[in-house]
Amino acid sequence: MPLILRVNKVPQTLVDQLALSNSVIELVDLQPPDEQTIDIVLASGESIVDDELISRLPNLKLIAVFGVGYDGVDIHAARQRGIFVTNTPDILTADVADLAIALMLNVARRINAAQQYIERGGWHEGSFPPAFKVSGARLGIVGFGRIGRAVAQRAQGFAMKINYYARSDHQSQDATYYPSLVSLAENSDVLIICASGGKESRHLINREVLAALGAEGIVINVARGSVIDEAALVEAIDTESIGGAGLDVFADEPNVPQALLNRDNVVVTPHIGSATHATRAAMAKLVLDNISAYQSGSPLLTPIY
């Protein structure tokens, strides 16, 4: 049977399907004899498939990523060795954009805080304080790829003024381009992060950007935890330099800073952007189809290059 190496964070259901016609081993169980025969690595976007691991696998030909992001994969090392990399684009766009809007509404309208207010008996003592109005507010989107544009489309339903920051001006008729993150933040009530992860975007959202967002501003992150300077975010929350945050991703998952927990103005979720039954099943099918295509010598469905 062909031997596939699974690097962490890939659903067991996908592994079970692959195991019907392949042998799948875990990275922790990888032994030198196996290193010589593995030609497929199965990974998630956050999995570390670096030059060191790639160098250990002389027959590696395909890195199949379960996810749209692939910042954990050393693309340069793969390309140098003629190794194909595939991912699962488009499929999860709608779910991630939906969650971004849900987090925005939750933080702005303080839904979690309102529930906790009832649960601790606060309603008997008086009314819950007014919250932030979303409709008509200014939305800044960081990263205007598939997910960023899907967020913008949804935000139009709330009559939001949509601005964005990206590597280049997309000439959108429905959104205004800002070449500076600081100026985008200064002109936003809500900042939603949709940028790709990786070295280039590390700590893109720093103290200066958060300060520009202001004391009433809300930051939402459905991208990668590394895109925000987490220490700066904690400081901004602690000092009330921003109004709140909705976070689905973190710098050191599954570890979430204690300072971000149990706060009325912070909503946290455990990296569930694509976690619906339908989307995860479709993502798994695309991974399987890419692997089948490689093994049969057919063109890959979604090669990164």
The set of catalytic residues is 224, 253, 271
- Indicate the Cα dihedral angle 65, 69, 73, 74, nearest 10°: 140
| C-alpha–C-alpha distance, residues 65 and 74, integer Å | 12
Pairing of β 3-6 and β 23-26: parallel
| C-alpha–C-alpha distance, residues 17 and 161, integer Å | 45
98 and 157 in contact (C-beta within 8 Å)?
A: no
Half-sphere exposure of 239 toward its Cβ, with a 13 Å CA cutoff? 11
Neighbouring-strand partners of residue 43:
65
